[in-house]
Amino acid sequence: MDWNLFSFPPAKEPKHLNPLVLAYIGDAIYEVFIRQYMISLTNHRPHHLHKQSSTFVSARAQSKALTQWLPLLTEEEIDMVKRGRNAKSGSVPRNADVLEYRHSTAFECLIGYLYYQKEYERLQTLMMMTVTGGS
């Protein structure tokens, strides 16, 4: 049985979803991943958890992680990154420049795509690189 914690599949095939929709779910998936990672460490003070998590989930950190991933991505994954990068969201947060924000959106888009494609092992491999520094 193909069991999934969340039993609401997308209304369309992942490749047909709007890249901003994929980024929307990708943001949530990555946030949970980082929170679980932080809780696996020893310091559980809420302020510390939030502050340390922010070093991974910021637009700058996600943009940097995407740059690290690029040489390892398949053509299909690169196409999804391009779709995410080129998606027009309408606004850019104050604390990120436009390029970082677009790369961050591309990063989240790829995570959402891999999640909905049920490519969990691949997703785990890539996301682990963000907390291990690429090793």
Q: Which among 29, 125, 5, 33 has a CA at the least distance from the CA of 21?
A: 29
Cα(91)–Cα(135) distance, rounded to whole angstroms? 34
Which one-letter amino acid corresponds to residue 132? T
Q: Check if 79 is active-site.
A: no
Cα(32)–Cα(68) distance, rounded to whole angstroms? 21
Catalytic residue among 2, 27, 79, 97: 27
**Which residues are tagged catalytic?**
27
